[in-house]
Amino acid sequence: KAGVTQTPRYLIKTRGQQVTLSCSPISGHRSVSWYQQTPGQGLQFLFEYFSETQRNKGNFPGRFSGRQFSNSRSEMNVSTLELGDSALYLCASSKGGLVEKLFFGSGTQLSVL
């Protein structure tokens, strides 16, 4: 059974650009959640999608958005990148939501120059 796949693995962008990250969940999982991990702030919850609907949301500005497709694949978009957006972005999938066992991907390492 394939695990959670995140692409790309690494990204380098400049301030002001936008970026789209992709996450393919484990087959049969309908919940996809996204997290930002930095050395200073640790892991922070961005949002969770379930059956193509954003169900839960963290405390990030509107520049961070996402969507989920009918096959449960999810994308996260960050517009108008800032230096502070440099981080490892992790996605996790589960069958039913945040309170179930989350399966994490390897993450996308985003560097904003």
Rule CB under 8 A: which residues touch other proteins? 3-4, 33, 35, 42-45, 48, 55-59, 90, 92, 98-99, 101-106
**Token representation of residue 97:** 């939501």
Question: Least distance to other proteins from the beta carbon of 99, Å?
Answer: 5
Of 76 and 81, nearer to other proteins (C-beta) is 76
Question: Least distance to other proteins from the beta carbon of 93, Å?
Answer: 11
Contacts of 48-55 with CB under 8 Å at 24 or more apart are 48/97, 48/98, 49/74, 50/96, 50/97, 55/31, 55/97
Of 90 and 112, nearer to other proteins (C-beta) is 90
How far apart CA 23 and CA 17 sit, in angstroms, is 20
Question: Least distance to other proteins from the beta carbon of 31, Å?
Answer: 11
